[in-house]
Amino acid sequence: MVAHVLLIEDEPNIAEAIRFLLTRDGMRVSHATEGMAALVLARQDPPDLVILDHMLPGMSGLEVLASLRADPASRATPVMMLTARGRDREVAEQAGADRFMTKPFSNAEILAEVRAMLGQPGPTP
Amino acid sequence: MPLSALTGTKLRDLRLAQGLRQADVAQRAGISASYLNLIEHNRRKVTPEVMERLADAIGIDRSALAEGRNAALVEDLRSAAARGGSLAEVERVEDFVDRFPGWAGLLASLEARSLALERAVEALNDRMSHDPHLSASLHELLSSLAAVRATAAILAETPDLDAEWAARFHRNLHQDSERLAAGAEALVGFLDARQGIEEQGIAAPQEEVEDWLRGRGWRISDAELQTGLAEEIAGLASSAARSLAGAHVARARADAGILPEAPFAAALAEIGPDPLALAARFAAAPLAVMRRLAGRPEVQAGLVLCDGSGTLTFRKPAIGFPLPRFGAACPLWPLYAALGRPMQPVEARVQMAGQGDRRHRVIAWAETRHPQGLRGPELREAAMLILPDAGEGPVLRIGSSCRVCVCGDCPARREPSILPAEAIG
């Protein structure tokens, strides 16, 4: 079964790169650029994994995370947060994020983390 | 006025330096040798008249024994001892100043330097933590960098990349490199532009406005309010600061309309700086009176305003009452007690941590308003007038903000101080 990843990122070029990486790896990627639209998407088409930017316009990443955790349908969905600052990590951890990736991240790192969170094996050497 | 005990030690040192006997000096000064002995051992205070005779008897300038010129130095060292913990022999500070004026001066200047550096550290720390411009600039840089890194890696690591995707990623790379360059340039410009500003601390539009008002002595005359000060406001660096300054002037103009300069000054002279009494006299809001009082040079009042969130929206400092540059102030400020119960005055005598024995009388008051009527939210605003105080009685110990507060046992502390551990009392 194809894994479904919901990517919530307002930077279009970062989103495009991540989307390319995950799609090429066989995943299905939905994309939202702000929190409210992302929550609607998450209800309509529940993802297997959420990649969530910390600094979003309107609702912050932490507010989106809190909404996801408050909804029984998405309470257990693994969430990876993309943060710009090291100290955001602690805050995100307290808010219920499962993994963190500090910008600027490497493609190999993010792909490995996503695979691990989805329980998928790594690439064959 | 009796001179202080420190003078006795100095007197003895000077007499011995001149090679004079106690009995001879006492005789020349017209006092008994036993009395001079008590004076020299700091067991009797001595009047200026006797001191003058003793100075003449020893053959020295009387001013060399004066204590007044060292009073400021003594006070500085007492403050240093209060900040530095309990290691110093505070009870002997006058003796120290008198015996070693050079060392005492050096210590006082080092203490002043240390205070200035702490303020600079605080400003830089706050700037890094709270400055919205810096935060936005860094976020922009990191976002651009993240996009560049991810895109460049795809291009470098995907030899069979479809031509259309390759073209798209090349375009993205170009866009992000332009953003990166612009972001770096803006960041450098931002830091450069602020290097020369006092204490390198001005970072927000509110501070820009306060700096402008400070330059005017915190005073805008009623005649100037009528002109609107458009030219001066136009000279402020940021549009946000110009907007805030315009709003400040508009509100000050409205206050002046209700509390005209001459009648207000007359009422102030008659009643004193009592915001409620003055408000009653002019049928004005106490907040307007407090803002007006802060502009009166004869009152020497500091003023802070905050909104319903407790965020300080205006800061006019008072001597010995440092105000936080960013973030929340000390939660023990009566300002916040007033914010929690509008229309009820809160008055207190307070002592600011790290400021020696200096006290202030503060008067706080909060009001609510509903600019959108019953269907809109209730907005709160609180003000705290900070007045000099020489009175006695119990005081409320407060700080500026937790980050720079030396109160070690404060029940309201919300974060550790950035000051060295030895400074925390």
**Residue of B149, B174, B178, B180 for testing the chain A interface, max A β-carbons within 10 Å:** B149
Backbone angles phi, psi at B205, to 5 degrees: -55, -40
What mean pLDDT do residues A20-26 have? 94
Whether A20 contacts chain B with CB within 8 A: yes
Tokens of B405: 């507060």
**Binary contact (B139, A55; C-beta < 8 A):** yes
- Set of chain B residues whose Cβ sits within 8 Å of the Cβ of A18: 150
**pLDDT tens sequence across B22-65:** 899 999 988 888 888 888 877 776 777 888 888 888 887 766 66
What mean pLDDT do residues B70-91 have? 74
- The ipTM, to two decimals, is 0.85
> Locate tokens 């340039």: which residue?
B185
Average pLDDT across chain A, whole number:
88
**Identity at B93, one-letter amino acid code:** V
CA trace torsion B44, B47, B53, B55 (10° rounding): 70
CA B401 – CA B418 distance, rounded (Å) = 11
Indicate which CATH number applies to the domain containing A88. 3.40.50.2300
Distance from the A46 Cα atom to the nearest Cα atom in chain B, whole angstroms: 26
pLDDT of residue B125 exceeding 90:
no
Average pLDDT across chain B, whole number:
83
Burial-class residue B138 by CB neighbours within 10 Å (0-12, 13-18, 19+).
middle
**Binary contact (A107, B150; C-beta < 8 A):** yes
What's the confidence (pLDDT) of residue B203? 54
Comparison of pLDDT for B188 and B415, the residue scoring more? B415
- Set of chain B residues whose Cβ sits within 8 Å of the Cβ of A108: 153
pLDDT of residue A54 exceeding 80:
yes
Query: pTM, whole model, 2 decimals?
Result: 0.47
Identify the domain containing residue A8 by its residue range.
4-118
Query: Which of A16, A18, A84 faces B142 most closely, judged by CB atoms?
Result: A84
Q: Which helix (H) or strand (E) holds B165?
A: helix B163-195
- Set of chain A residues whose Cβ sits within 8 Å of the Cβ of B149: 104-107
What's the confidence (pLDDT) of residue B200? 44
What total number of domains does chain A contain? 1
Show the beta-strand stretches assigned E in A47-119. Answer: 49-53, 79-83, 99-102
**pLDDT tens sequence across B176-219:** 888 887 777 777 766 665 554 444 444 578 888 988 898 888 98
CA B188 – CA B182 distance, rounded (Å) = 10
CA A97 – CA A84 distance, rounded (Å) = 15
Residue ranges of domains in chain B: 6-111, 132-200, 300-425
> Locate tokens 């993010």: which residue?
A110
Task: Kindly state whether residue A125 falls inside one of the protein's structural domains.
Answer: no
Question: Could you tell me which residues come within 8 angstroms of residue B93 by beta carbon, excluding any fewer than 6 positions away?
Answer: B74, B77, B78, B81
Task: Give the chain A residue whose CA is nearest to the CA of B172.
Answer: A13
| Interface size, chain A vs chain B, as Cβ–Cβ contacts under 8 Å | 58
Determine whether domain B6-111 maps to CATH 1.10.260.40.
Answer: yes
Query: Which of A16, A21, A106 faces B149 most closely, judged by CB atoms?
Result: A106
Query: Which of A13, A106, A110 faces B147 most closely, judged by CB atoms?
Result: A13
Using alpha carbons, list the distances in angstroms from residue B294 to B219, B261, B278, B334: 9, 13, 13, 17
Q: Which long-range contacts (CB under 8 A, 24 or more apart) does B90-99 make?
A: B94/B4, B94/B5, B94/B6, B94/B67, B94/B70, B95/B5, B95/B6, B95/B9, B95/B42, B97/B6, B97/B70, B97/B73, B98/B6, B98/B7, B98/B9, B98/B10, B98/B67, B98/B70, B99/B9, B99/B10, B99/B13
What's the confidence (pLDDT) of residue B5? 45
What's the confidence (pLDDT) of residue B420? 52
Distance from the B153 Cα atom to the nearest Cα atom in chain A, whole angstroms: 7
**pLDDT tens sequence across A63-80:** 999 999 999 999 999 999
Half-sphere exposure (CA, 13 Å, Cβ side) for B69? 9
What mean pLDDT do residues B77-90 have? 74
Whether A41 contacts chain B with CB within 8 A: no
